[in-house]
Amino acid sequence: MMDSAPLAGRTMVITGGSSGIGRGIALAAAQAGADVALTYRSNETGVRETAADVEAIGRRALVHRMDLSDAQSIDAVADGVSGTFGRIDAWVNNAGADIVTSGGDALSRLDKLDLLLRVDLRGTMIASWKAAELMAAQSAGGVIVNISWDHVATGMEGSNPQLYSAAKGAITSFSKSLARSVAPRVRVNIVAPGWIETAFGSGVDRGVYRAVAESTPLKRWGKPADVAAAVVFLASPAASFLTGETINVGGGVVM
């Protein structure tokens, strides 16, 4: 029988907890028994709603504003969460720049590239280094889960996919090298979502939406809860002999 609370007594930091995948991870972690710290950059209303839902499940929730492009901001949040919770058992680098909705789609190609490299790649690297540093000093070590993209393994046509491939592919490669560097006290793994029904998926043209579902072996778009389940598994004792691994959550589009 599977443990109904695999993260009982543990703490988790989730960057970008305001909505979508980050919100899904927060709720799944709380349901698995973890207390969570959520970060946000601009959507305070959304992150407060996520925190309230976590507390309704019966777990503690902290909220911190963090700028992933600012190393001092990352350090301050990490030290603050560690001080409040006493430790950080898992750190999930979920937050990323939006280049497809909310005005991000209007940026030039070079501005999109600079934003993705600054926030997604550099931010993930700095946050991972900080998390690994804190976890190495803990008696039980810790787990880092970085969010990549399933199509970095195969490529996808288009300008935005080229940009995502550069940033998310680098996150995957970095995570594998980090996993070797911080083992055995800290485990580092990657979750690579595919077509997930977040704000982008909900707003996409219905013809495109149906075409994506039809071309997916499991015949549907993924949900944030699908990604969250993989993250909770990797953060749990059930994955204690996994490091440097990638779990694609894409319904079989990339195998």
Which letter, b or e, does each residue of 194-214 get, where b requires 16 or more Cβ atoms within 10 Å of its Cβ? bbbbbeebeebeeeebeebee
Dihedral-angle region of residue 197 (phi above 0 means left; psi in -120 to 50 means alpha; beta otherwise): beta
Rounded to whole angstroms, how far apart are CA atoms 143 and 234?
A: 8
Return the residue matching tokens 């970060």: 39
Burial class from Cβ neighbours inside 10 Å (0-12, 13-18, 19+) for residue 35 reads buried
Q: DSSP E strands: which ranges in 61-131?
A: 61-65, 90-93
| Position 210, amino acid | R
Which letter, b or e, does each residue of 64-91 get, where b requires 16 or more Cβ atoms within 10 Å of its Cβ? bebbbbebebbbebbeebbeebebbbbb
Dihedral-angle region of residue 145 (phi above 0 means left; psi in -120 to 50 means alpha; beta otherwise): beta
Angstrom distances, CA of residue 93 to CA of 8, 157, 234: 21, 26, 13
Which one is catalytic: 164, 174, 221, 233? 164
40 catalytic, yes or no?
no
Active-site residue set: 164
